[in-house]
Amino acid sequence: MVEWSGGGGGGGPEAGVAEVVRLLAGGNVAVLSGAGLSTESGIPDYRGETGSLRRRTPMTYQEFVGSEDGRRRYWARSHVGWRTIARAEPNAGHHAVESLRRSGHLASVITQNVDGLHHAAGTRDAVELHGGLDRVVCLGCRRTSSREELDGRLHALNAAFREGGADGVPRLNPDGDVELPDALVGGFRIAACEACGGILKPDVVFFGENVPKERVERCFALVDAARALLVLGSSLTVMSGLRFVRYAARTGKPVAIVNQGDTRGDAYAAAKVCLPLGAVLTELADRLAQPR
């Protein structure tokens, strides 16, 4: 594997990025992006040096559906965290991905992120593997609605909660919630579905929940149709992303990885770049700026 880490190994500082340039130059490349792509937008990752999994266990699907207290805790924390997610802007990495897509070098984008930043950068057809925080789904009637609409309802139900200083606890997690003391969460009022009174859940795949089968099949089809796979900002720790890397390698497609830190897919990669994604992706887009 050709690697560029800025430390002088793996063929020098140009070797890894040059290999990624060659891979992209051939066009028809699929992207798989993860939380590391959004850290420069102020959204933390799960497993980096300051990742949230070092501090807490995220909400699981089983806890959310099985416990009203669990749902109250999630929605109270998410009510505060949503303000930061909603204000987040795409960073240089997201814009570089869109530039590479427009120039014909990227054929498709699959993202493990739920922050909507690929869409905000113009990559409207990016497949959100784990769903999106900007949508809410009823577990009863399956009606979907906007998170903005729900936010207004939660504001109306919890005016005293806002006045209680919840905004003073800003530590955001990648799934859009923040860390709040239990004493503050206890009085939070949650909203039910306006259509049927059912349980509302963010339209995202929680830990312990399966990605919808048709979405997985769509992503496999995108990888299958591509000539190569480029992984951006994912440790590939969970199988939901790693399976696409393994599939690409098994079917003879070259894999390249841009990520700060080791990944479970490193053994499958022909090239690896270990530097901040915004700068690296901008350089890649600049080198390949001429339309195909």
Q: Where are the domains of the chain?
A: 2-287
229-278 per-position pLDDT tens digit:
999 999 999 999 999 999 999 999 999 999 999 999 999 999 999 999 99
32 vs 186, residue with greater confidence: 32
The residue-averaged pLDDT of 165-192 equals 71
Predicted pLDDT of residue 193: 98
Comparing CA positions, the residue from 207, 198, 222 lying closest to residue 177 is 207
28-47 per-position pLDDT tens digit:
999 999 999 999 999 987 54
Cα–Cα distance between 124 and 145 in angstroms, integer? Answer: 19
What are the tokens at 269? 């990669």
| 61 is an annotated ligand-binding site residue | no
pTM: 0.89
Active site residue 130: yes
Predicted pLDDT of residue 227: 98
Cα–Cα distance between 166 and 265 in angstroms, integer? Answer: 39
65 vs 5, residue with greater confidence: 65
| 113 is an annotated ligand-binding site residue | yes
| 12 is an annotated ligand-binding site residue | no
| 3 is an annotated ligand-binding site residue | no
261 burial class (0-12, 13-18, 19+ CB within 10 angstroms)? middle
The residue-averaged pLDDT of 114-137 equals 97
Cα–Cα distance between 85 and 263 in angstroms, integer? Answer: 26
Full 3-state SS string of the chain: CEEECCCCCCCCCCHHHHHHHHHHHCCCEEEEECHHHCHHHCCCCCCCCCCHHHCCCCCEHHHHHHCHHHHHHHHHHHHHHHHHHHHCCCCHHHHHHHHHHHCCCEEEEEECCCCCHHHHCCCCCCEECCEEEEEEEECCCCCEEEHHHHHHHHHHHCHHHHHCCHHHCCCECCCCCECCCHHHHCCCCCCECCCCCCEEEEEECCECCCCCHHHHHHHHHHHHHCCEEEEECCCCCCHHHHHHHHHHHHCCCCEEEECCCCCCCHHHCCEEECCCHHHHHHHHHHHCCCCC
| 224 is an annotated ligand-binding site residue | no
Predicted pLDDT of residue 51: 45
| 111 is an annotated ligand-binding site residue | no
Tell me: pLDDT of 170 over 80. no
Pairing of strands 144-146, 131-138: antiparallel
Give the CATH H-level superfamily of domain 2-287: TPP-binding domain (3.40.50.1220)
- Options 79, 94, 119, 130, the catalytic residue: 130
Cα–Cα distance between 127 and 136 in angstroms, integer? Answer: 17
Residues constituting the chain:
292
